[in-house]
Each structure stands twice: as structure tokens, then as C-alpha cells.
Structure 1
Amino acid sequence: MFPLKLVFRVGTLRFAGLGRPSVSVTPKRTVKTSIVDWKPMNSTKMDLRKAENNAKHRFFRGTLFGLMIAMPIISFALGCWQVKRLQWKVDLIKKAEFQLAEPPLNGLPADLDPNAISQFEFRRFRIRGHFDYSQEMFLGPRIRNGEVGYLVITPFVRASGGKPILIERGWIRKAKVIPETRSHGYLSHLAMPQNEITIEAMFRVMPTKSSIQLDHEPGTKLFYVHDVPTMAEQSGALPIYAQMMYSLRDQPDWTGPDDQPAKGWSLFSKPADKKTNSHLPVSDADSTLEWQELEFNNQGVPIAAVPKVNFTNNHFQYLITWFGVSLASSSLLAYIAYKKKTLGSADKLQKAKLKNF
């Protein structure tokens, strides 16, 4: 028979049959288990990919943070620039309103300098002379009260001498573009006044034509934009633009078209010689009479522009916008810096704890 061996475990004492008891002593645990959830080790390929992604993220975060720093500075600078622009526009409007309120000039010098007109924009003046209808031009189409029409621009030959200047007489509807449709009727002396008359107008400086706008076809009477140099070159006038004053008064001293033959006329083609019917004389008028716009529209009388300063001034809205963007971006930048500082302190505390393990 095999000898019987009994093993007893009590605490740290072991009895193996009748053998000598052995004592096993468990050492005291001195290593503390870290509370950090350690990540498993990756391969070298994964480490390189992670390093590349971290580099990209650092570049993106750095670029974004740089833009966030630049945004408050740039927007604040733009707001300050708009403050200067606002003051400039206010001074410009004030000057234009002062010019418009001044009494009109009586006559213009014969050697009028086109470069000096910018200093007299919105200044009213009275001159005597006659319109050159053979060089009449039209700008448009323009919509007025839902109806299609054109602005009539006619060179005005001054009685005092000098080259003609361009006068914008006003708006007429499309059906009255051809001169023969305006030469008859009880208001023909206002639609196409003949001989020497006295008119009141104000100087205007029109914006320069840009390269993206439609070009004018040489020799035609139709223009799409205020191309003052081209208008002046085609009509033989000075590059000076003026607008007649809005008025519905009658002019009894003005006379209508005579019984003289007129030349053939076309809006979209060059002029050609052609005999037309004679014009009718104009009836007498009352100097105290004022007509209605509807009558002017039906008879082809140009409706002139209302004398007012029409500059747009949106610089106050612009400066509020830019200063608001500067304030908002500054607040966001301060919040991100505060959060980054708080999170950085937590990371430092975590690293300090790890050193104690």
C-alpha cells in the first residue's frame, strides 16, 4: 500500500502527512495600483500614424488660434476706419446740402473748366441758350412708377459762348422717345422748346463707367450708363453734366417747334436725312399755371429730377458691425484662454499624482 499523505492548510502553516511542517510567509504589499487606465501598447506603425495625426491637429489648432487672435485686432481696426469714413461722408453731405441751399449762379464763364465742377456739385445755376436736339441722347431704360422710359440728355448751347454742356432734362416714357411724338400738343413748348430760353439746373458728378458695364455703340443715341466722356465726345459738348430742376410750372415765354422739316430719327440707329410733317404752333399759356405729372407724361414733357442730396450713408451700421465682431471675438478668445488655463492646471495635478505612485 502506498503511504497516506494528508495536507492541511491553516493560515500559513502546511502539514504534509507526518512530515515537518513548513511555513510560507506572504510579503506585505507596498506597490499602489495606479488609478490611471493605461492604454495598451501599439505597434510602431500605429505610433507613427498617431504622431502624424497629432502634428496635423497641432497645426490646425495653431492656425485657428492665430486667426482668433487676429480677428479682434482686424475688426477693431476696420471699425476705426469706418468712424473716419462716417465723418468723411457726413462732411460730404453737409457740403452738398450747403451748395444746394446757395442761391443759383447767374451765367457761366465761356471757358468753363470741367475739372473744377467737382467743387460745385449740387450748385444751382441759370443760363440762357438753346437745346441742340440733333444731338439728343437717351439713357436707359429706366423704370418710373412702373412704366418703362428713358432719361433725355440734350446738349445746351450757351448764349454767352463756349462749348455746349450736357443737360439731363428728365424722364419720358418709351412711347415719347421719337421727337415727332413730342412736337405736337398743347405742351409741345415744354416738351421741345425752341429758340433761346433760360433754364435752371444743378451740376452733378457722375460715377465713372466700369469695365463690366455695357459699352456704347458709337453713333447711336442710346446709352446704358452715365458715360459722360463718351456722351461729350459724340455730341461735341464739354464733359460737364447737369440736371434740370423739377418743376411743373408753365413757361409762357417758351415757343414750340416751327414749321420746319426735321431729320429722320431713330433711337437704335445712326441719323439719316428724311422729311417729316411740319410742326404745329403752340397755344398761349398762363404763367401762374401748374400742370400735373400725368399731363407731362402723356405729352412727352421730360419730368426733371427733384433737387436733393441722394448720397447713401451706411457707415454707422458698418462701424457698429465691426466693433460688435471685435467684442464678440475678444470675449470668445478670453473664454478659450480661461478654459485652456483651467484644463492645464488639471493636467498638471494629474501628472503630480502620477509621480507619487
Structure 2
Amino acid sequence: MSFIISLGIGALRNSRGNLFKTSKVALQAFKPQRQTIRSVKTSTVDWKPIKSGTTDLAKKEHQVKHAKVRYFFLSLMIAMPVVSFILGCWQVQRLDWKSKLIARTENSLTLPPLEELPADLDPNVIPEYEYRKIKIRGHFDYEQEMFLGPRKRPDGELGYLVVCPFVRSNGGKPILVERGWISKEKIVPSTRSSGYLSHLALPKGEIEIVAMFRVMPPRSYLQYSHDEGSRLFFIPDVAAMAAQSGALPIYCQAVYDMSDHPEYRRNNEKLNASEKGGQGGSGWFFSKGKSTSTPAENMSSLHDDTDSTLEYLQSEFVNEGVPIGTVPKVGFKNNHLQYLVTWFALSFFSAGLLIYSLAKGRSSSADKVIAAKRTHMKKME
């Protein structure tokens, strides 16, 4: 009986304990919980990520892989100061040569003209007399008149240079004379033979001209060759001009002269009178058609045929087809001083860059790569 009573008391105690625990859990469920409030908001993005940079080891390995390229550029750096220094020394020699050439030609322009040329003039000696003025007597062979161009004047007007063989009075073969520039509208001789300046455009008979010797560069393989028999030349091919006209390969340029020549007018008047008298002309260049007085002839009669000081305007020469000669001045350009300064400066700076590169020790080797690997391993320990 006592045993039964003890079992009942134990069961009652267990039930009370379970009931107490259940009530305690229920009370905790109804108990208000404490909330945590953040006072500072932080971003979830990492604005400073870790970046992997190029290490010394990677640089050394890159240098070893590109050793050939590095040696190639090193060779260029070594060759540059040497080659530029040699070119600078060469420009010093060129400067001395060009200065002497300009001085010699300027001196030739100041000398009085040569008045007598030998009949058997040697073309090989002409380079020694370039830019030397000459005064020769004879007449132009208009049947062999040639044109060089086209050429533009400074104002943009298009025209051609007239080249005509000049038959010397003292004998010998003719020489080529560049008379000057004419507009493209005055190429046909008939447009130049009827104006009041026809005695200057197409002087007839024996006259005296002043010209200067010139040496023209030979035609290169890249330039157009001349069409045989054509009067038009694109470049001053002296050899082809001489062969076509039967003249010596000697090229002269008529000196710029805007003054009148009364003796030219008298010669033209005499020859024109003989042509009108029925003797006929010497070629199609001087054919004038009907013999009637023109306004140009009336204007020509107003000028005094003894006034040699009269000068005309360039516009008059252009309108009447009178060739405008060449101004006697040296046409050489001397830029060798700028060239030698450029080459020596390039040699100096390239030599400094080479010394700087060698002093910095940019050339790598296997030992440097191994040393860099050891240093890198020590940093990782």
C-alpha cells in the first residue's frame, strides 16, 4: 500500500514539473524581445579590391622572351649616332661646295658679257661659264621654234617658254636660246607678228641679244620622253632639242629686258617692205595676208624709232606676245646648314639616349631572372 502511494506521489510531481516547464515556455513566447537598430549604414560593395600588379619576376621573364627584339632596337640605337654623325660631316662638305658655287655664279653675273664666241664652241666647257652673260649677233631660226611647258606665271596665267635656235653671224652651228615666257594664246606666230610690238615678238634680220649660259639637268628615266618631231617639250631636254633643231647642245636664257630696240623695228620695216614688194616671205611664220594699215601699225608709228630708253609694261609684253626673259639671278638653294645642324643634333641626342640606356642596365640575363625569383620567394615566406 505504501508502494502504491509512493508511485502516485512521483507521478504527480512529474506532471507538475512538466506543467511548470510548459507554462514557462508559454510565458517566454509572450515576453517582448529587444530589437537591435543599426546607427551606421555600410556598403556591401568592396570599393578597394585587391589588384594583382606586374612583379619584378614577370618583368624579367618578359625581357628574356623578347631578347631578340631588344637586341634589334639596341643595334639601331648604336647605329643612329654613328650614321647621323657621318651624314652631318657630309653636309659640312656639301655646304662648303654649295657656298663656293653660289659665290662663283654671283661673281659671273657681275662680270661684263662675253662679246665674241668662237665658231667651234665646245659644249663641254659651258659648265665653267654657267650664269656668264654673253652678247652675240645673228638671227633666230623661227622654222625650228620650240615650246617648253606649260609654265605658270606668279599671277597664275598659263603659258610656255619659247626656245629658238640662234644662228650666229660669225659662223658655227646655232645655239639654243630660251627667249622667255609667252601666254598660251600667243603660241601661233601669226598672233605675234601683227602687233605694235611685233619687232620685239618676232625680230627679223640680224640682231644683237644678251643671254647667259645655263646647264640644264639631263632627263631622268622617270620623266616623259620627247615625241620626235613635236615642237612641245615638257622638260628642258637639251640633247633632244639640239638633235631636232640641228643646233649645238648649248642652252642659253635671254636676259630680262623690257626696253625697246629701235634697230629691231628698222629691220622689220625693211623686210616687211620687201615682202610687200612681191619678194615673198621665208615661211609661214611671217604670212600677214592683206597688206593694209592696222591700228597696231599706227600705234607703232607714234614711237620714236631712235628712242632706246623707252620701256614697256609686262602686261603689254603679254598682250602682244613678246617673250619675257629671265631675271639674271642665282637659282641655287643652300639649305645645307639646316641639314648639318639637324644631323648633328640627332647624333648628339641619340648618343645621350644610348648612354642612358646602357647605364641603367636594361639588358637582362638568366642570372638576373634567378636572382629575381629568389627575392620574390623571400618576400612570400
In the superposition, the TM-score normalised over structure 1's length comes to: 0.77
Q: Deviations over 1:5-45 (max 9, x none)?
A: xxxxxxxxxxxxxxxxxxxxxxxxxxxxxxxx999xxxxxx
Per chain length, whose mean CA-contact separation is higher, i.e. which structure has more relative contact order (CA < 8 Å, sep 6+)?
2
Aligned residue in 1 for 2:86: 77
Aligned residue in 1 for 2:102: 93
Q: Is the 8 A contact 2:63 2:364 kept in 1?
A: no
Aligned residue in 2 for 1:324: 345
State how far apart, in whole Å, the 1-side matches of 2:352 and 2:117 are.
Answer: 60
Instruction: Give the match's secondary structure for 1:105.
Output: coil
CA apart distance, 1:353: 7.3
Match for 1:220 among 225, 230, 245?
A: 230
Alignment of 1:13-162 (within 5 A): 57-144=66-153, 145-162=155-172
State how far apart, in whole Å, the 1-side matches of 2:363 and 2:204 are.
Answer: 86
CA gap 1:278/1:217 in 2 versus in 1, 3 angstroms: farther
Alignment of 1:169-180 (within 5 A): 169-180=179-190
Instruction: Give the match's secondary structure for 1:172.
Output: strand
Aligned residue in 2 for 1:23: none
Q: Is the 8 A contact 1:261 1:276 kept in 2?
A: no
Alignment of 1:277-288 (within 5 A): 277=289, 283=301, 285=305, 286-288=307-309
Aligned residue in 1 for 2:192: 182
Aligned residue in 2 for 1:306: 327
- Amino-acid identity (%): 52
Q: Deviations over 1:244-293 (max 9, x none)?
A: 1101110001133633446457xxxxxxxx97626887645321211110
Q: Residue type of the partner of 1:77?
A: I
State how far apart, in whole Å, the 2-side matches of 1:170 and 1:354 are.
Answer: 82
Q: Residue type of the partner of 1:196?
A: E
Greater mean alpha carbon deviation, residues 298-307 or residues 310-319: 310-319
Q: Residue type of the partner of 1:318?
A: Y
RMSD: 3.1
Aligned residue in 2 for 1:196: 206
* Number of corresponding residues: 302
Instruction: Give the match's secondary structure for 1:333.
Output: helix
CA apart distance, 1:324: 1.2
Structure with the greater alpha carbon radius of gyration: 2
Greater mean alpha carbon deviation, residues 336-345 or residues 87-96: 336-345
CA gap 1:250/1:348 in 2 versus in 1, 3 angstroms: same
Q: Is the 8 A contact 2:152 2:158 kept in 1?
A: yes
Q: Is the 8 A contact 1:107 1:128 kept in 2?
A: no
Aligned residue in 2 for 1:338: 359
CA apart distance, 1:351: 8.6
Greater mean alpha carbon deviation, residues 312-321 or residues 156-165: 312-321
Segments of 5+ residues of structure 1 without an aligned counterpart are: 1-36, 40-49, 266-273
Per residue, is there more strand in 1 or in 2?
Answer: 1
Per residue, is there more helix in 1 or in 2?
Answer: 2
